[in-house]
Amino acid sequence: MGCGCSTGHETIDDKTMSMINDHPCYSKDAHNHFARIHLPVAPACNIQCNYCNRKYDCSNESRPGVTSEKLKPLDGLKKVLLVGSEIKNLSVVGIAGPGDALANPQKTFETLDLIREHAPDLKLCLSTNGLKLPEFVEKIKETGVDHITVTINTIDPKVGAQIYPWVYFEGKRYKGEEAAALLLSKQLEGIQKCVEAGILVKANSVLIPGINEDDLPNVSKKLREMGVFLHNIMPLLSEPEFGTYFGLNGVPSATEEQLQKAQAACGMDMSLMTHCKQCRADAVGILGEDRSAEFESPMYKGKELEELVALYDIEGRKAAKAKIEGFMQILKEANERVEAEKKMLSTTGETVIVAVTSSDMATVNEHFGTVKEFLLYEAGDMGFRFLTKRSVANGYCAGPDSCENPMDEIKTALRDVKLLLTAKIGGCPQDALKEAGVVSIEKYAKLPISEAVMGAAKEHFSKEAEEG
């Protein structure tokens, strides 16, 4: 099973695999199958970040640090038991705020101890800015937490001074580079202690345009040297209505292009988490969904603990987990077969998806403007295979007197396609497809599909080799 990364962990030992195989944040395979819950029991924070405003709340808002309510430890346990009784694939409990887990140690560890006692089948996680991490590593280990996330945005105190207005440590408020240097030293010390203790560390970094984007590769390199398992680069969310310092002072949200560029630069040194959905502090469900509204506090606060413990049904949950793991194994074996087939298609294992416009499924004979069905093939430099058909409701042009432009639907249909072979295509749709990463080609018009697909694929890989 994959960890959601391209480099850094080519092989994962059995012990580590057992730690991540049902953890949706640490395993890209798991995130479609297993759910998590965040408990907002830690409201206080010991640093200020210019991208954070914990006071903001909206049901449609999913930034980290946002929550609809704060919970006491016992109420957190009750919520977990209720959620776990209904969401059988719940595998992880995390404390991620709305402040900092370790700035609220009593509440955090009381909550985790209660969960370990009454829901021992769940993995325990916490997230922290790292300021207090060194002094709590031993306690974290004793509590049964074996996954931890540390937010580290820079290893340069000059950059850090632009991100953190102040840091409060041992009764004193630090500012500027002094604050950033103190925070960094504690982050690195805490991370090292966690790694030495066998705790899996995931590092989060917020990509802040114009501030830390050039330093993030240095962060990744340092994390790799220290033995951090995974690096998650999150785009800054900086709309003015969020009320953050950056949002109110014109620092823009990070674009998808900027994120991809940062991931490419950092992925040379560090394994990356690429499936993060930037969860709220009270998130419930599979990554990318939020079911917290289904489990409002009146549903569990008024119930007796014994009632909720009985509802939790650990044995039923174990059976559900076994089914999920069986299904994941089937998917893994299917993916392995696909990879084996790819090796038959390609000398390098590299393949490309080719779309063809054809009215007879034999030749490249259909004009792009009229096509309502694309034929998709996977091709390497040695062979190809048919994958599927994808339809669109309307062709690019309905006729000479009634032209429409359903390019959004067409782009969706061609979302993973690199090459489009067509009999004819106009300049405007050609440019639109190029922006979406699809190269349209007319030179194979009227040729048999087999000849056209192989010709286009060989030309594509030959060009890539020359450019590389």
Per-residue pLDDT of the chain (468 residues; tens, 9 = 90+): 444 444 344 467 777 877 777 777 777 777 677 888 999 999 899 999 998 876 644 333 455 556 667 899 999 999 999 999 999 989 899 998 888 999 999 999 999 999 999 999 999 999 999 999 999 999 999 999 999 999 999 999 999 999 999 999 999 999 999 999 999 999 999 999 999 999 999 999 999 999 999 999 999 999 999 999 889 888 888 877 777 888 888 888 888 888 888 888 887 666 776 666 567 778 888 777 778 888 888 888 889 999 999 999 899 899 988 888 888 787 777 767 766 777 778 888 788 899 999 988 889 999 998 888 999 998 888 888 888 888 887 777 754 444 455 788 888 889 889 999 999 998 888 998 998 899 999 999 999 998 999 899 999 888 877 776
Which residues partner with 175 through β-bridges? 166
**Domain locations in the chain as residue ranges:** 14-312, 352-467
Measured CA to CA in angstroms, residue 347 lies from 7, 299, 341, 453 at distances of 21, 58, 11, 17
CATH of 352-467, one of 3.90.1570.30, 2.60.120.620, 1.10.3720.10, 3.30.420.130: 3.30.420.130
349: left (phi over 0), alpha (psi -120 to 50) or beta: left
Cα four-point dihedral sign 173, 177, 178, 184: positive
Which pLDDT belongs to residue 413?
86
d(Cα 390, Cα 410) in Å, to the nearest integer? 9
Which pLDDT belongs to residue 401?
45
Which pLDDT belongs to residue 107?
96
Which residues partner with 354 through β-bridges? 377, 419
d(Cα 334, Cα 329) in Å, to the nearest integer? 9
Which pLDDT belongs to residue 7?
38
Which amino acid would we find at residue 196? E
Pairing of strands 352-356, 373-379: antiparallel
Q: pTM, whole model, 2 decimals?
A: 0.69
34: tokens are: 């297993």
Q: What is the CA radius of gyration of the chain?
A: 25
Q: Which CATH superfamily is domain 14-312 in?
A: Aldolase class I (3.20.20.70)
Determine the longest span between alpha carbons in the chain, in angstroms: 78
